[in-house]
């Protein structure tokens, strides 16, 4: 059986599948290596309203307490950690 589908319908279908695949948000966690800043929690709340998966990136040195704090935040599916001494003094919050 043959189906005739217009090119615009094909493009729309493929565009919709791309958006479904990209329906996620990466939040860069702002912190001082000890605790998250309130703006990070606000950003996670906004990302949750958008829908889709939420991942957080924590970059710092000795930031285990920040990662622990993020594990208790609702809605975060994945936490990516880049922990290294090169981040010492990189950003003072």
| Contacts made by residues 48-52, CB under 8 angstroms, sequence distance 24+ | 48/74, 48/75, 50/25, 51/23, 52/23, 52/24, 52/25
Confidence check: pLDDT of 20 > 80: no
Is the pTM higher than 0.85? no
Identify the band that residue 1 occupies on the pLDDT scale cut at 50, 70 and 90.
very low
Query: pLDDT digit string (tens) for 25-47?
Result: 999 999 988 999 999 999 999 99
């Amino acid at each position: 059986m043959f189906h005739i589908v217009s090119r615009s319908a094909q493009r729309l279908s493929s565009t919709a599948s791309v958006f479904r695949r990209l329906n996620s948000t990466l939040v860069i966690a702002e912190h001082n290596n000890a605790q998250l800043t309130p703006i990070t929690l606000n950003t996670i709340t906004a990302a949750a309203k958008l829908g889709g998966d939420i991942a957080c990136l924590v970059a710092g040195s000795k930031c285990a307490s920040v990662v622990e704090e993020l594990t208790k935040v609702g809605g975060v599916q994945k936490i990516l950690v880049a922990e290294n001494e090169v981040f010492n003094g990189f950003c003072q919050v």
